[in-house]
Amino acid sequence: MQKRFLYTDKNILNYFNENGYVIIKNFFNKKNCNKFKKIISNYANDGFAPIMNPDRSEYLISQITHKIEKINQIGEKANFVDNIKKDTEYFRSIMKNKKIIKLLSKLKKNKKIFPLMSQMIFKKANTVYSKQSWQPHQDNSYAKNKNGHYITINIFMDKSNLDNGTMYVWKKSHKHGIFNYQRKVSYREKDSKPGNVSVSNKKFEVENLFFEKGDMLILHGNLVHGSYPNNSKKKSRSLYSVSYIPEKEKFISGKNAQRKIIH
């Protein structure tokens, strides 16, 4: 297994600059992971498709109308809708988690850091979307920050390995700016292969990454990464992904994600 750092480790910055990613071990404890999964699962559809921006009520509602319709009694419906506010606030509180912001700020010369968007990816065992294998892509191919300051974190809510669809990176590929890419539908795609496919003449070694439940991956926006399908019959591989940017940096908002500075 590759190196996993404690939150307080002094070598995080060096490792991140050199490798374009860093893994913080047990950032969330198991109880917090279970709480998170329980709450967000209330909003999943049958195929457990990813949920875009569950921290924004307008996004959450737009993705769960089918669930609301299925509830028979008006009182129950009202209770379900009433919970949305509380739950979006909970997801938002994770995006704005002080420990996360402080650590990301350390990686970016102590600049102020703001969240832009979030996404829940379930890869729940035995569902349609478990077979999702993200093609090798740079997250910054969407946001297009010219200075390469776009960052994504993935909080792993399950143990993640080759069997249940873990992630891989193209080693040190963050050092070459934004590559050309083949555009792909990356939200509710039909081919189970989302992610703008990076195209480069350079050859990079593939490094598979392994995670314990509660680990947090911090990704440089220009590091090419992807993931394998979840072939496990039993083990889901869920993660909550949040993207960030330092103050005053430019980015593309995007039609689906609608990235915006969240204060």
Ligand X SMILES: O=C(O)CCC(=O)C(=O)O
Find where tokens 């307008």 sit.
Answer: 58
Single out the residue of 28, 122, 134, 150 in contact with ligand X (rule: CB under 6 A).
Answer: 134
CB of 78 to ligand X, least distance (A): 33
Tokens 């873990």 sit at which residue? 166
Q: Check binding of 119 to ligand X (CB under 6 A).
A: yes
Q: Per CB under 6 A, does 167 bind ligand X?
A: yes
Question: Which H or E run includes 52?
Answer: strand 51-52
241 contributes a contact to ligand X by CB under 6 A:
yes
Question: Among residues 97 and 196, whose Cβ is nearest to Fe ion?
Answer: 196
Reference 208, options 161, 242, 164; nearest CA is 161
Give backbone dihedrals phi and psi of 102, rounded to 5 degrees, phi first.
-65, -45
Torsion sign across C-alpha atoms 228, 229, 231, 234: positive
Contact status: 227 vs ligand X (CB under 6 A): yes
Task: Give the residue with the Cβ less far from ligand X, 88 or 132.
Answer: 132
Minimum gap (Å) between residue 237 Cβ and ligand X: 7
The single residue among 16, 51, 55, 139 that binds ligand X, judged by CB under 6 A, is 139
Enumerate the β-bridge partners of residue 151.
220, 244
Distance in Å, CB of 230 to ligand X, minimum: 9
Q: Radius of gyration of the chain from Cα atoms?
A: 18
Count of residues touching ligand X (by CB under 6 A)? 9
Residue 153's φ and ψ, nearest 5 degrees, are -110, 145
Task: Provide, rounded to whole angstroms, the least separation between the CB of residue 151 and ligand X.
Answer: 12
Question: Does the footprint of ligand X cover residue 239 (CB under 6 A)?
Answer: yes
Burial (0-12, 13-18, 19+ Cβ within 10 Å), 49: buried
Site residues (CB under 5 A) for Fe ion? 139
The binding site for ligand X (CB under 6 A) comprises 119, 121, 134, 139, 167, 225, 227, 239, 241
